[in-house]
Homo-oligomer: A and B are copies of this chain.
Amino acid sequence: MKIAVDAMGGDFAPDEIVKGVELARDNDSSVEFVLYGQTDQINQLLKNKQNISIVQADEVISMEDEPVKAVRQKKNSSLVMAAQAVKDQEADAFFSAGNTGAVLAAGLFVIGRIKGIDRPGLTTTLPVINTENGQFVMLDVGANADTKPANMYQYALMGKFYAENVMHIDNPRIGLLNNGTEADKGDMNHRKVHDLLAENTDLNFVGNVESRDLLNGVADVVVTDGFTGNAVLKGIEGTALAMMKLLKSAVVDGGLKAKLGALMLKDGLKGMANQMDYSKHGGAVLLGLNAPVVKTHGSSKAETVSNTMAQIKVILASGLVEQLKDYVTENKEQLEEIKMTTKK
């Protein structure tokens, strides 16, 4: 099992990436890593080369680079070289904390889609509040801005396989993010998707769900178009951050009494911050490609990098990609029919 690592992507690359890889290696000796990047820098950072090899990459794709252009032009970048290694079957999975758009482009154009899947879906895991380890997945959270009903139908299938294989949820509850829970809610596209999902008896479809109820765990898999999913995810993030800011200013403006109060509440507040810290819950996975492509937050530190490597191992060990391929092959005709009937 070998993971191709873009060692130069992210706000704290290569330092925290290298540290994170070593942490992951120390936790699990069954995984090998190939780091793509500046050999000199990486060599200086590495404490121990066991299970870790390095490949020189002369270029770096920055956060400011235009994604598709950068992937096409910077063939010697750490990001593209890592993706190419997966394409060439020199590695089994791809990891980066770099430019999200470039990760999506490299996944799509270098590693490639599973035959029969029309659009990959960016999949993220979010916490269910007031549960020990409750989580749900949501996709697509931004791989595609323009989405057809057939794409969302495929997201539901991918999400189901992810929830079963990686999160070990039996018969996961699949919900469609919509602007009301009634069956006839939504725009034309979402109404079509609702009916497609309701017709497939293989799916444990629980109907439409509203974004108000997501963090309460209303579904295990939340299916959404990439435009809405992206906006809702960022809305959730922004609100959680805003609430933490408000709490902080309540402490600062509150004088000594409030400061003492915060000190006494400290453990509980820390637990709250942890629950809302998405980085703890691993990276976003681009599902529907020929191999796992995983992206963590640009601000990820070593611990998050290491957690994400563990997540990738679970994905690889579960055979998610192979199962999805088999399913798509077996249901080829049905998927084609859905595409044809929902085209316009």
Seen from chain A, the residues whose Cβ lies within 8 Å of a Cβ on chain B are: 129-130, 142, 145-147, 177, 179, 185-188, 190, 210-216, 224, 226-228, 230-232, 234-243, 245-247, 249-251, 253-254, 257-258, 260-269, 271-272, 275-276
Contact = CB atoms under 8 A, between A and B. Distances in A.
Contacts of A224: 231
Contacts of A265: 250-251, 254, 258, 261-262, 265
Task: Please state the number of chain copies in the assembly.
Answer: 2
Nearest to A254: B268
24 contacts: A130-B249, A145-B186, A146-B188, A177-B231, A179-B231, A190-B227, A210-B231, A211-B232, A211-B235, A211-B238, A212-B234, A212-B235, A214-B235, A227-B228, A235-B235, A239-B240, A239-B243, A243-B272, A246-B272, A249-B268, A254-B265, A254-B268, A262-B265, A264-B264
Contact of A129 (B237, B246, B261, B264): B246
A142 B251 contact: no
A268 B243 contact: no
Q: Taking each of A224, A246, A257, A258, which has the highest tally of chain B beta carbons within 10 Å of its own beta carbon?
A: A246
A210 B142 CA distance: 12
Contact of A238 (B147, B212, B243): B212
Nearest to A239: B239
A251 B268 contact: yes
Contacts of A186: 145, 227
A67 B145 CA distance: 31
A240 B214 CA distance: 12
A237 B249 CA distance: 20
A232 B235 contact: yes
A269 B240 contact: no
A236 B239 contact: yes
A268 B253 contact: yes
A224 to B, nearest CB: 8
B179 A142 contact: yes
Nearest to A261: B264
A268 B250 contact: yes
A215 B227 contact: no
A242 B129 CA distance: 7
A104 B184 CA distance: 17
A231 to B, nearest CB: 5
Q: Taking each of A145, A213, A235, which has the highest tally of chain B beta carbons within 10 Å of its own beta carbon?
A: A235
Contacts of A147: 187
A272 B262 CA distance: 14
A213 B238 contact: yes
